Amino acid sequence: MLENILILSILIICVFVIFKKLSSHESYCGSCPIKEKCKTKPFVCHDEGENRS
């Protein structure tokens, strides 16, 4: 029983981490060079290549 709770907790953490990652700039902005500095939400690219935020 204890093992099941532990494994389930690990699973929930993993799912949470994956969703967090999928909704992050890293996922949305691909290789955009300024994604680290980008603070806007929802993630909108102002144009293609330049001034992305």
Q: What is the DSSP string of the chain?
A: -HHHHHHHHHHHHHHHHHHHHHTSHHHHSTT-TTTTT---SS---SSSSSS--
Comparison of 39 and 50: residue with beta carbon closer to other proteins? 50
Taking the complex as a whole, the smallest distance from the CB of residue 3 to other proteins amounts, in Å, to 4
- Asked if 53 interacts with other proteins (CB under 8 A), we say no
- Asked if 23 interacts with other proteins (CB under 8 A), we say no
Candidates 26, 27, 32; CA nearest to 47 is: 32
Residues near other proteins (CB under 8 A)? 3-4, 6-8, 10-11, 14-15, 17-18, 21-22, 27-33, 45, 48-50
